[in-house]
Amino acid sequence: MITFDEFKKVEMKVGQILKAEPVEGSDKLLQLEVDFGEDKTRTVVSGIAGHVDMETFVGSKKIFVTNLEPRAILGIESQAMILAGKDGQGLALMETNRDLAIGTLLS
């Protein structure tokens, strides 16, 4: 269990997927270029390959945790984490039920 004050530290923002490509050497990883409305885009590496329709995924808006410490995954620095959940029907990526602006901070 974490306290409410600890949870408040988690920064979740709307990001738009600008680019997605497979990570060489992995069947599960995609390297994403994501716009959070900041000065420059961020790279995000995620194990969602095979769970997304690339035609509709690129250009879509999803929810990300954006204040995690960057982490190298197969030599690529991942600068955020896409939020997803998995059940018996597969992987679901978190998104909003409204068209929120890129960079919107969720609370």
What does the pLDDT look like over 43-82, one tens digit per residue?
Answer: 999 999 999 999 999 999 999 999 999 999 999 999 999 9
pLDDT grade, residue 93 (50/70/90)?
Answer: very high
Instruction: Return the structure tokens found at 103.
Output: 């960079």
Residue with tokens 């885009």: 41
- Asked if 44 and 84 count as a contact pair (C-beta separation under 8 A), the reply is no
pLDDT grade, residue 96 (50/70/90)?
Answer: confident
DSSP for the chain, written as a single string: ---HHHHTT--EEEEEEEEEEEPTT-SS-EEEEEE-SSSS-EEEEES-TTSS-HHHHTT-EEEEE--SPPEEETTEEE--EE-EEEETTEEEE---SS-PPTTPEE-
Quote the CA–CA distance of 28 and 15 in Å, as a whole number.
21
pLDDT grade, residue 107 (50/70/90)?
Answer: confident
Taken in order of first residue, the domains within the chain and their CATH numbers are: 4-98 (2.40.50.140)
As a whole number, the mean pLDDT across the chain is: 96
